[in-house]
Amino acid sequence: MTVKLVPDVNAEKRIDPATRRLVRTGVDTVLNPYDEYAIEAALQLKEKLGEGTTVTVFSMAPESGKETVRKALAMGADDAVMLTDAGLEGSDVWDTAFALAQGLKKHGFDLVICGSLSDDGSTGGVPGAIAEYLGVPGFTNARHLDVADGRLRVQRETDNGYQTVSGPLPALVSVTMAVGEPRYASLKGIMGAKKKTIAVQTPADAGIAQPLGASGAKTELLEFAPPPARSKARVVTAEDGPSGAAAIFEFLKEKKLA
């Protein structure tokens, strides 16, 4: 499955006005929380399919992210590949998907499982784009997945419920939080993770010839702005209970809520 490393979700985020990139220094790096659901889905599938199934963590990240990738190994994944190069910094959706697809092709796979979006960029565009570059069917927003007889069967979340779709392997699927709460890494998993392999792949290893990263990006961030500050709440001071209730009712009526 693919995972992204993101700044600590609880940290206050800041964008550097000069580079228009998220400031990552001084902020802990964690696994993208959405990707933890992809790990959970992959481990559930492995438990169901049994021996002979390998779960590989695939991440495009700087080498300093190795210990964060190891958390996915502690949760139970078998090994990891990190696609690493300074030239990949500043990649946009296109860059990222293209590079991951080349890396995945080189490594080989039956099924790619992704989280549905990242906590930092939140584009949600990468899974679909990887599927496109891989030339395999892409199933997005899966709440449940199953593999049988060489085919993937997926329940896709929709606004009103879900649809069941099926397609041949190899394939790509992105999962939602409905696949199940990500498990804790057990102590055995943590102690065992240091013995698992994290292979490093360079763009050259993956057969990528053209420049990627900021220089190859097809999109450009033009402007950014912090979320608008919340408007001040209206404070109602009432003489007593009934007049207070009446004031609240008036307010709700005004907002067409009552």
Partner 1 sequence: MNFDLSDEQKAIQDLCRDFAQREVAPRAEAMDREEEFPYELVAKMAELGLMGLPFPEEYGGSDADTVSYALAVMELARADASTAITMAAHVSLGATPFFLFGTEEQKQRYLVPLAQGKMLWGFGLTEPNAGSDAGNVQTKAELRDGKWIVNGTKAFITNSGTELTGGTTITAVTGKRPDGKPEISNLVVPQSTPGFTRSKKYKKMGWRASDTRELSFVDAALPEENLLGKRGDGLKNFLIVLDGGRISVAALSVGLAWGAYDQAMQYAKDRHAFGKPISAFQAIQFKLVDMLCEIEHAKGMVLKAAWEKDEGRDFSMSASLAKLFSAEVSRRCVNESLQIHGGYGFMDEYPISRMYRDQKINEIGEGTNEVQRMVIARMLGL
Q: Applying CB under 8 A, which residues contact partner 1? A: 67, 70-71, 74, 184-188, 190-191, 193-194
Sequence-ordered alpha helix ranges (H) in 19-151: 33-49, 66-75, 93-107, 126-134
In angstroms, what is the minimal distance from the CB of 187 to partner 1?
A: 3
In angstroms, what is the minimal distance from the CB of 7 to partner 1?
A: 16
Q: Residue 25 or 210: which CB sits closer to partner 1?
A: 25
Instruction: Quote the longest CA-to-CA distance of the chain.
Output: 75
Q: Residue 28 or 110: which CB sits closer to partner 1?
A: 28
Q: Residue 68 or 176: which CB sits closer to partner 1?
A: 68
Give the residue carrying structure tokens 């659901």.
Answer: 37
CA angle 250, 256, 258 (to 5 degrees): 60
Q: Please state the φ and ψ torsions of residue 174, each to the nearest 5 degrees.
A: -110, 140
In angstroms, what is the minimal distance from the CB of 185 to partner 1?
A: 6
Helix (H) or strand (E) holding 254, with range, is helix 241-254
Q: Are 81 and 201 in contact (CB under 8 A)?
A: yes
Q: Residue 24 or 71: which CB sits closer to partner 1?
A: 71
- Separation CA 80–CA 199 (nearest Å): 6
Give the residue carrying structure tokens 């500043």.
Answer: 90
In angstroms, what is the minimal distance from the CB of 188 to partner 1?
A: 5
Q: Residue 30 or 208: which CB sits closer to partner 1?
A: 30
In angstroms, what is the minimal distance from the CB of 193 to partner 1?
A: 8
Q: What is the Cβ-side half-sphere exposure of residue 37, based on CA atoms within 13 angstroms?
A: 22
In angstroms, what is the minimal distance from the CB of 194 to partner 1?
A: 7
Q: Residue 195 or 255: which CB sits closer to partner 1?
A: 195
Among 218, 9, 200, 220, which Cα is nearest to 96's?
A: 218
